[in-house]
Structure 1
Amino acid sequence: MVNVAIIGASGQLASTLIDYLSEHTEHVMLGLVRRDPSTLRTVPRLKYVQTDYQDTAELSRIFKAGSVDVVMSFIIAHLDPDAAVSKRLVDAAIDAGVKRFVPSEWSVGRHLADAIQFLPWYDSKLKTRAYLEQVNTPHKVLEYTLFHSGHFTEYLGHPHAPANLKHIDTIAISFQPEILHALTVEGREEVDRMTFTSPGDVVKVVARALDVEQGKWPVWGGIEGQTVTVKELIDIVERVRGKKLTVERLKESDLVAGRILAKTTPTITHSSVTPEQKEAFEKLLTAGFLMGAARGAYTATREWNEILPDVKFLGIEEYLRSVFRE
């Protein structure tokens, strides 16, 4: 049994993990939240603690009081400027004698730095990575792993609600099988690769990782559902839908310059994006998805696949066929 502190415990992926840990393990959970805990659902073996994450000493006291072994963060990247909260969590974990730390990664992987120009809302992830390296130099004081898994497979089913994933909202990305439309970078369809992993599989791996022997966590913690080229993804979608996609091929030079010269672009609706941010974020997300893929940011490595080779992952075609039964 492990005592796990879940930071941002009311978020989507965090809630999915909480459900899985409650149903399939005996681990005890401490859920840190900003909102009033009395407004949140009750889950077996989960206790909420309200905090604003502004006081390192307070966070340390919370971790000590809960005898926390592992801190897992689900802080939303663009809501943590300069990784201020993330750094406090690291400091508090070290002060409290926490054994393991999971920063808020969950998406982009090893090539984020190569694509940060197009994914600026992820800058706090780079700062957190750098801080973890710093505090563990010259000697390791806190074991950590950078869980990353590319895009959620279920985004390809937008706007259909994911089966058995009641907490996950889908968003429209540059591939929209529902309307038979895709945006790609001209000339890169057989080069650019992306990983798609179901959040249901992500939480299974994370739960298993809690039982891995101390000292055996890899720093780079890739979870790969399925990695495909853009061309392979087009072929899968067309095979499942039985129809051709309308593919708009955008020039890389236009995307670099911030120009989205497409007839159809994704409409973003997500709980973390305010109405005031919507238009600007749609442009950023579209360019980020395309150029992030071109720079390899959405390709996951396979460290956790290799550590846990018996875990079976939901494939892209399998998922799409469950959504588009025609």
Structure 2
Amino acid sequence: MVKIAVAAPGQVAREIIEVLVATGKHEIITLARRELAPEEVVKGTTPLKVDFHNQDELAKILQGVHTVLSFVVVQNDPEGTAQKTLIDAAITAGVKRFAPSEWFISRYTHLLWSASKVVIRDYLEEKNKNGKVIEYCLFQPGIFTDYHANENINKHLKTNDFLPIDFANHRMLAPGSLEPRLTATTIRDVANIVAKAIEYEGEWPKVGGIAGQTLSLAEELAIGEKIRGKKFDVELLDVDSLRRGEWNGSWVKPLEHPSIKDLDEETRAAFSKAAFSGFLLALVDGDMVVSDEWNRIFPDYRFTGVEEFVSKFWAGKP
């Protein structure tokens, strides 16, 4: 049993916390900038309101904590200030392990709103350059397979149309060809691997890829057409135009995310278009494929594949 601190417990964090609580093995505290609403508090955890810019306060709170899992919304912290302070406090408090707010892909060349993830990677590397002062892992599961559903199927994680394939309307956008690949992992598999990682007695890998399944857009399309029983309309977008910042698709999915919920409709639409364009370019450049470090550490763990997930959700639906 260890004590775990979860910073900024949003949707993804709460799904992971539920699994950690279910093990019955750990003491879990959550750290948030504000008082959490009752529905945001996972039963079995202790919620604390903190100032992520107050290192001394954080260091006191983190006394006795073994592992810190961070889910700070990086769009709201472009310089990484909150996480840098949290890391420094964790080191001062003698925390053994730290997981920064990653929980996505390997590179962010085209997803600039996530650039502070790279800032934090560099910060952790710098902290340990003269000898390890804190063990850390960049948990990278790729896209959540759950986004293949078009409704909320989880207790906390909401559906996010951050995929180039639209199962509901039998269509797909592809950057130039169907060759680009992506990695998709269910949120339940991510949570289970994190729970196993907490108990892992070996040293955490610095890069911790969790690869549920890596597949091409052609394979995504084949799954969609097989399960939905209908040919999809495939639109190949000009990659050079996308690189020039010119959107050349006939449709785009409006993104839903807590970090943009307060934007007006026009700004949100513009952000969705830019985000989707960046996503497609990331596909072309191979940024959406993650490694498999945790798969190799836990070789007996069975991941849920995309077709298995899609079959359970879409089979028989009109």
Distance 2:51 2:96 in 1: 23
Aligned residue in 2 for 1:7: 7
Aligned residue in 2 for 1:210: 198
The aligned amino acid for 1:54 is H
Describe the shift of the 1:43–1:282 C-alpha distance in structure 2 as closer, same or farther (beyond 3 A): closer
Describe the shift of the 1:41–1:248 C-alpha distance in structure 2 as closer, same or farther (beyond 3 A): closer
What's the secondary structure of 2:88's corresponding residue?
helix
The aligned amino acid for 1:204 is N
Q: CA deviation at 1:140?
A: 0.7
Q: CA deviation at 1:272?
A: 2.1
Per-residue displacement from partner, 1:224-282 (whole Å, max 9, x unpaired)? 00000111111111111111111111111111111111112112222221333412220
8 Å CA contact 2:14, 2:42 repeated in 1: no
Q: CA deviation at 1:180?
A: 0.7
Describe the shift of the 1:285–1:42 C-alpha distance in structure 2 as closer, same or farther (beyond 3 A): closer
What's the secondary structure of 1:221's corresponding residue?
strand
What's the secondary structure of 1:81's corresponding residue?
coil
Q: Aligned residues, how many?
A: 312
Aligned residue in 1 for 2:56: 57
Residue 125 of structure 1: which of 112, 117, 127 is its match?
Answer: 117
Distance 2:285 2:87 in 1: 29
Distance 2:252 2:55 in 1: 42
1:143 aligns with 2:135: yes
Distance 1:252 1:17 in 2: 36
1:269 aligns with 2:253: no
The aligned amino acid for 1:263 is S
Distance 1:307 1:27 in 2: 22
What's the secondary structure of 2:199's corresponding residue?
coil
Which 5+ residue runs of structure 1 have no aligned equivalent?
A: none
The aligned amino acid for 2:294 is W
Q: CA deviation at 1:41?
A: 5.0
Distance 1:129 1:319 in 2: 32
The aligned amino acid for 2:248 is L
The aligned amino acid for 1:135 is K
Per-residue displacement from partner, 1:126-182 (whole Å, max 9, x unpaired)? 00000000000120110001100110101111x2222xx210111113211111111
Describe the shift of the 1:279–1:43 C-alpha distance in structure 2 as closer, same or farther (beyond 3 A): closer
Distance 1:323 1:104 in 2: 29
What's the secondary structure of 1:6's corresponding residue?
strand
8 Å CA contact 1:255, 1:287 repeated in 2: yes
Distance 2:138 2:212 in 1: 16
Residue 304 of structure 1: which of 285, 291, 294 is its match?
Answer: 294
Distance 1:208 1:220 in 2: 16
8 Å CA contact 1:197, 1:224 repeated in 2: yes
Q: CA deviation at 1:56?
A: 1.1
Which 5+ residue runs of structure 2 have no aligned equivalent?
A: none
The aligned amino acid for 1:148 is Q
What's the secondary structure of 1:147's corresponding residue?
strand
Per-residue displacement from partner, 1:44-85 (whole Å, max 9, x unpaired)? 441111013111111111101xx1001110011211111111
Describe the shift of the 1:231–1:144 C-alpha distance in structure 2 as closer, same or farther (beyond 3 A): same
RMSD after superposition: 1.4
Q: Which moved more, 1:121-130 or 1:265-274?
A: 265-274
8 Å CA contact 1:27, 1:45 repeated in 2: no
Question: After the TM superposition, which residues 7-156 of structure 1 pair with which residues of structure 2 at under 5 Å, given as runs?
Answer: 7-9=7-9, 11-37=10-36, 39-64=38-63, 67-109=64-106, 112=107, 115-116=108-109, 118-156=110-148
Q: CA deviation at 1:26?
A: 1.3
TM-score of the aligned structures, taking structure 2 as reference length:
0.94
- The structure 1 segments of at least 4 consecutive aligned residues displaced by more than 3 Å after TM superposition are 37-45
Describe the shift of the 1:138–1:309 C-alpha distance in structure 2 as closer, same or farther (beyond 3 A): same
TM-score of the aligned structures, taking structure 1 as reference length:
0.92
Q: CA deviation at 1:38?
A: 6.0
Aligned residue in 2 for 1:161: 152
Distance 2:146 2:84 in 1: 31
What's the secondary structure of 1:22's corresponding residue?
helix
